[in-house]
Amino acid sequence: MHRKSWIVAIVIVIIGVAFIFFIGQRKQANKEDVEEEIIIDEYLDEVKEYSQYTVEISVDEEAKFYKGIAQISYIHNYDRVTERILMNAEGIRVSSIQLNSDPVAYTEEKSDILIQSPFTIEKGEELTLTIEFEGMLDNNIIPTILAFDEELGWSINNGRKKDFGPLIELGNYVVTVFTPKGKYPIGTGIIEDILESNGMIETSFRANRVRGFGIFIDDHMEKETINTEAGYSVVLYYQDEDDIAKELMPEIEKSIGIYSEIFGMYPYEQFTVIHKKDQEGKSYPTLVAGDFSTWIDRRNTLNILVGKQWLGYIIGSNRKSDSLINDGLLEYLSKRQYLSEGQMKSYIESNEGSDDTYGLDNYQAIMNMFYNIEIRLGEEGFMETLRAYYRKYSFGRPTGYDLMETIEEVTGKDVMDIYDLWLNRTMLRGGGIYESNNT
């Protein structure tokens, strides 16, 4: 009897030790996750308060045209003062703009709206813009403030440097869309509420800390939702007659999981995918759309559109040269997922051809650059660098040179010779890349 009690006591002690060890491991893992989030949150708090967009959009009965009104609360978080505000409004016609409740002068050129402020906008200045607008649903829907450059400020197309791109300033959005019965909006962020009355559907969206807002309006679509262990949900919309959902949803999860492993956790509540036959591939913050019918579409188009969330929206750039670096890295990481080591080597060597590196296009040159960087750093060093890059520059606007500096900080290795070869030599023939020491 005493022997049995002794054995039971030992078993209880072993179970207790194992349980304590398990809890300790969980706490350590959670601590690491929290520390990563703290790093990002501290960066966000240090940089800025976000612009607040409150938008109402009404769609006509045929769901072809819309009218809208947007109230934007903008805080100028930059040392450089300005007397104008530059907005992106591609495909949008603006009928009026008010600044702090007073009508204000503005000009439209191509996809830009340049608002002339009657006063100098200082750091910390809080402004309210009220904009009435309209357009067709196959274009951009909401006018958005473009990212301000601390060195160059805002400038219109004819005065903008060739290297400038249309990056949108981070913002928080509350968007209400009124559609005729039978037409349903799908948008960036999450749906907060849906009301039906008098033959109209009122759908309210919320999205925080995003670079722009995408909306698709269509007939009823089937919907499938999964909640991931990481805490965000994946929502897939597809047409009634399409049985692709069972194949597509695992591919979406896999793609998000791969980029989360490479860079860091997907930071939003929801990721939405629209699959529709003959739909052109499009990407917005938290939202992608396309025709993903074949495995090639899923391997290439879907994978790139998903990765754009990390390299394009979370890590952004308002200079075309730096955007090209992000896009090229995304292309490289995408191919890296499905090509073996030998296949990747053959692919890169076929791009390089002879010693003449001037025959490559922009993306090929950048993919070659990152291939050679990974060879020098090794896989472990390369992946450690990408995670550090994500932690340091999430929701920021790093340059290509910032990435090279991150590589040296993490690995202690200098790769500027590779950067100079594949960017400055190859890309200066017309790609708009500036010298590496001009940041």
CATH number where 271 lies: 1.10.390.10
Point out the domain boundary residue: 160, 195, 217: 217
Q: How confident is the model at residue 242 (pLDDT cuts 50, 70, 90)?
A: low
The larger pLDDT score, comparing residue 425 to residue 267, is at 267
Point out the domain boundary residue: 217, 233, 265: 217
Point out the least confidently predicted range of 159-163, 343-347, 415-419. Answer: 159-163
For residues 156 and 238, membership in a common domain is answered with no
For residues 276 and 388, membership in a common domain is answered with no
Q: Is residue 380 part of a domain?
A: yes
Does 157 have pLDDT greater than 90?
no
Point out the least confidently predicted range of 3-7, 39-43, 209-213, 259-263. Answer: 39-43
For residues 144 and 205, membership in a common domain is answered with yes
CA dist., res. 411 & res. 408, Å (int): 5
Point out the domain boundary residue: 32, 47, 62: 47
CA dist., res. 4 & res. 201, Å (int): 70
Q: Is residue 416 part of a domain?
A: yes
For residues 162 and 208, membership in a common domain is answered with yes
CA dist., res. 169 & res. 302, Å (int): 25
For residues 180 and 79, membership in a common domain is answered with yes
The larger pLDDT score, comparing residue 331 to residue 5, is at 331
Point out the least confidently predicted range of 129-133, 314-318, 435-439. Answer: 435-439
pLDDT of residue 263: 96
Q: Is residue 279 part of a domain?
A: yes
pLDDT of residue 394: 93
Q: pLDDT tens-digit profile of 375-396? A: 999 999 999 999 999 999 999 9
| Number of structural domains the chain divides into | 4
Average pLDDT, rounded, for the chain: 82
Average pLDDT, integer, range 169-181: 95
Q: pLDDT tens-digit profile of 65-96? A: 999 999 999 999 999 999 999 998 888 999 99
pLDDT of residue 12: 52
The larger pLDDT score, comparing residue 41 to residue 181, is at 181
Range of 149's domain? Answer: 49-217
Does 7 have pLDDT greater than 70?
no
For residues 389 and 405, membership in a common domain is answered with yes
pLDDT of residue 165: 62
Average pLDDT, integer, range 328-348: 89
Average pLDDT, integer, range 28-41: 40
For residues 124 and 157, membership in a common domain is answered with yes
By CB atoms closer than 10 A (0-12, 13-18, 19+), residue 279 is: middle
Q: Is residue 438 part of a domain?
A: no
Percent of the chain predicted with pLDDT > 70: 79
For residues 275 and 242, membership in a common domain is answered with yes
Q: pLDDT tens-digit profile of 279-326? A: 999 999 999 999 998 877 777 889 999 999 999 999 988 777 788 888
Q: Is residue 99 part of a domain?
A: yes
CATH number where 132 lies: 2.60.40.1730
Q: Is residue 315 part of a domain?
A: no
Q: Is residue 129 part of a domain?
A: yes
Percent of the chain predicted with pLDDT > 90: 53
CA distances from 51 to 43, 112, 173, 191 (A): 17, 18, 8, 20
